Structure 1
Amino acid sequence: MCDYYISDGKNQYITTKGGIRAVGDLKQATLMNLAKATNVLKTMPKTLLKVKDWTILPVPEESGQSFRKDNTFKTYEFVGLDTIINDMTQFTEIAETYAKYSKTINSQLAEVELEIEDLYHYIEFSSFNAAQGYKAYKMLKERLVKRRELKDSIILLDSVQEKNMLTCSIDNINDVVNKLESRSYRPRVLKELFV
C-alpha cells in the first residue's frame, strides 16, 4: 500500500492534525492512503483552495529520505538518512551491549557453579559442629540464590535474542518475567521436603 501526502508542489503541505490546514514543513505533513487523500482534498476549506493548487503526491521511495509513523499511526514524521543511520547505530550498540552482558552473565554463572561444587565437596568431606554446618548452609544458599538470579537473567536475554530484537515486544518480556515469578519446583525424589 502506497502512502500519499498533499502538497502545492513547492513548500506547502497539508496536515489533518487539529483540522485540515497548511504547514510549511514536510515533516508535519499527514500521510494517508489514496482514498483518504482524495477525500481530504475534496473537503479542504475554501480558503486553502483559493490560495494554492493542491496535488496528491506519493511518498518518494528512493529519494534518500523515508518516513516514520508517529504513535497515533495516522501521520508520519519525515526522517532523513542521518537520523536513520543514527537510530540504527544506537540499535546496534544496544544489541552489542546485550551480547556482552550475556557473556558476562554466563561467565558469572560458571564461577558460581564452581563455588557451589566446592561447597558440596566441603560439606561431603568435612565434619563440623552446628555453627560450622549453618555457616556452610548459608554460604551454599547464597550461591544457589545467586545462580537462580543469573539463570533468570539468561532466560530473559535468550527470550529477547530468540524472538529477535526487532520483533520482541515488552509484552513478550513481561510474559517471560511472569512465568519466572510464578514457577514452582516439583521434586524428583525427595518429595517429603516440599510438603
Structure 2
Amino acid sequence: MNLFRLDGSIFPSVSSSAEIADRAEAEWTAAHPDGGVNRRHLGTDPLPADAWVHATVGSGTPEPERTPAQNEALALAARLAGELESADAVILAVPMYNYGVSQHFKTWVDLVIAGAGPTNPLLKGVPTALVTTAGGGYGPGTPREGWDHSTPYLERVVGDLWQADLTLIKCELTLAATTPGMEGLRDLAEQQRTRALDAARDTGRVLAGV
C-alpha cells in the first residue's frame, strides 16, 4: 500500500493544514504499518515556476528540437503525475493564500496535468482527503462570503478532473488565536479545529480501508 501526501503550507512548523493532515496520516499508518508514504512539500521545496511553460511548449515540439529545459520539465511533469497514479490513497493539505490557491500549488497542478494529460482521471476512485484551511471566515453571512476562490478550484481539479473519491475537510479562522481583532472568534475557531481533526481521524480510517 502506498500513501501520497502533499503539503502546501509556507509555515510548516505552525501549519493548521499539516496538523489536520497528520491526524489522517496517523490513522492510515496505523492500519498499514508496512505501507509506504511518499511525501512532497511544496511550501519548503517549491517547483520551478517556469517548468510548466517549458513542459507545455516542449510537448508540442519535436523531440530532437527540444531544449534541455524542456526535456527536464517534461521529465518532472511525468514524475509528478506518476506519484499520484501510483498512490492507493492521497492526502492533500492545501492552505488558502490571498483568497485563492498559492502559486506553488498551482504550478504543481499545472505540471501534473502536463504530465498526465488534460483529461486523464488519474485519481479515479482513489480515496483522497483534501484538507484546506483559511485564516479568516468565508462562509454564508460573513463579510467576505464568496471570497474563497480556492476551495471550488480544488474540488473541480481533484474531484471532477482527476475523479478522486474525494473527502473535503475545511477549517477556517485558523488565525483567530494570534490575530488582534479576532479575539471574539476564538471559541468558534477552536470548534472548527476540533471538528476538522475529528473529520481527519475518520477520513484517515476510510483512506486506510478500515
The TM-score bracket by the shorter chain reads under 0.3
TM-score by length of 1: 0.23
Which gives a bigger RCO, structure 1 or 2 (Cα 8 Å, sep 6+)? 2
**Which has more helix, going by share of residues?**
1
